[in-house]
Amino acid sequence: MNKRRIGTTALEVTEISFGGAAIGGLYRACPREPAMETLQTAWDGGLRYFDTAPFYGFGLSERRTGDFLREKPRSSYVLSTKVGRLFRPVPEDQVPDHSYVDPLPFALDYDYSYDGIMRSVEFSYARLGLNKIDILFVHDIGTYTHGVEKTKLHFRQFMDGGLKALEELKSSGTISAYGLGVNEVRICLDVLSRAPLDCILLASRYSLLDRSAEAELLPLCRQRRTSLIIGGVFNSGILATGPVPGAHFDYQPASKDIL
């Protein structure tokens, strides 16, 4: 499979990658056996870039991804995960509903500070059972997740400290690249206007149904030499399933207009 370079780094990823939300139980339960079979099918198909996140199943996706990759030669794949959410154990009846079925028994707190990002990385190492993460994405920072007022707080927290943590991790060789992992264009423009990013994992905003990244973000990424990794290419499902009953668009049941 062909590869593409991430930004101006030496890191290269396969043109098609594996996104780990579904093996964390997004929308429906995903037992361990089919999760591992799916990862193996991706590997057999030539995919060598695997993306996961603490949010996916509240740690479940990271655990499974790490279990699968642990026996593979470390130089044979690229791994990315995300920062911005910290998890704490809670009783099963207090696990929040974020559309994950049978997640691990944790609740989450948002933290985009220097300490929060450093803690998030350490927790991810433990869940993955691996000693190297190639790319870190700042997860879901923006109004799509937080609304206007909380986004102002999180954005300031990230710019005042979280960005420094990522720069230190990259300069020390702990990671090879960093960027944003988001579902919206505006926050990408806001961050890129203030700081360099190696890459952006943008979900659902550059697809056959949603072209909102095209006008401003694509030209800016070319100018800043920031790689744009296109996630959510099926817009949560409808571009894979077609307009069938129960089809999802943008993480919720598709409207009549979308159908």
Mean pLDDT on 142-162: 96
Question: Domain locations in the chain?
Answer: 3-253
Asked whether 34 and 2 are in contact (CB, 8 A), the reply is no
Mean pLDDT on 173-188: 97
Asked whether residue 166 carries a pLDDT value surpassing 90, the answer given is yes
pLDDT given for residue 232 in this prediction: 93
C-alpha triplet 64, 65, 67: angle, nearest 5°:
65
Count Cα atoms within 13 angstroms, Cβ side, for 86.
15
pLDDT given for residue 225 in this prediction: 97
CB environment 48-84: b (16+ within 10 A), e (fewer): bbbbbbbbbbbbbbbbbbbbbbeeeeeeebbbbbbbb
Q: Name the CATH architecture for the domain at 3-253.
A: Alpha-Beta Barrel (3.20)
Residue 248 host element (H or E): strand 248-249
pLDDT given for residue 5 in this prediction: 98
| Residue 194 pLDDT class (50, 70, 90 cuts) | very high
Q: Active-site residue among 82, 110, 111, 112?
A: 82
Mean pLDDT (the chain, rounded)? 97
Mean pLDDT on 40-67: 98
Asked whether 194 and 223 are in contact (CB, 8 A), the reply is no
Report d(CA 103, CA 97) in Å as an integer: 9
**pLDDT per residue as tens digits for the range 96-138:** 999 999 999 999 999 999 999 999 999 999 999 999 999 999 9
Asked whether residue 92 carries a pLDDT value surpassing 90, the answer given is yes
Q: What is the DSSP letter of 73?
A: -
Could you confirm whether 100 is annotated as catalytic? no
Asked whether residue 8 carries a pLDDT value surpassing 90, the answer given is yes
| Residue 29 pLDDT class (50, 70, 90 cuts) | very high
Q: Active-site residue among 27, 44, 49, 56?
A: 56
Could you confirm whether 82 is annotated as catalytic? yes
pLDDT given for residue 245 in this prediction: 92
Q: How many Cβ atoms from other residues are within 10 Å of residue 162's Cβ?
A: 26
What are the residue ranges of helices labelled H in 158-204? Answer: 163-171, 186-192
Report d(CA 243, CA 256) in Å as an integer: 9
The burial of 226, by beta-carbon neighbours within 10 Å (0-12 exposed, 13-18 middle, 19 or more buried), is given as: buried
| Residue 175 pLDDT class (50, 70, 90 cuts) | very high
Asked whether 51 and 65 are in contact (CB, 8 A), the reply is no
Asked whether residue 160 carries a pLDDT value surpassing 90, the answer given is yes
Mean pLDDT on 75-85: 98
Q: Which of 199, 208, 204, 184 is nearest to 250 (CA)?
A: 204
Could you confirm whether 51 is annotated as catalytic? yes
| Residue 251 pLDDT class (50, 70, 90 cuts) | confident
**222, two tokens:** 């070319």
pLDDT given for residue 18 in this prediction: 98
Cβ neighbours for 216, distance < 8 A, ≥ 6 positions apart: 185, 189
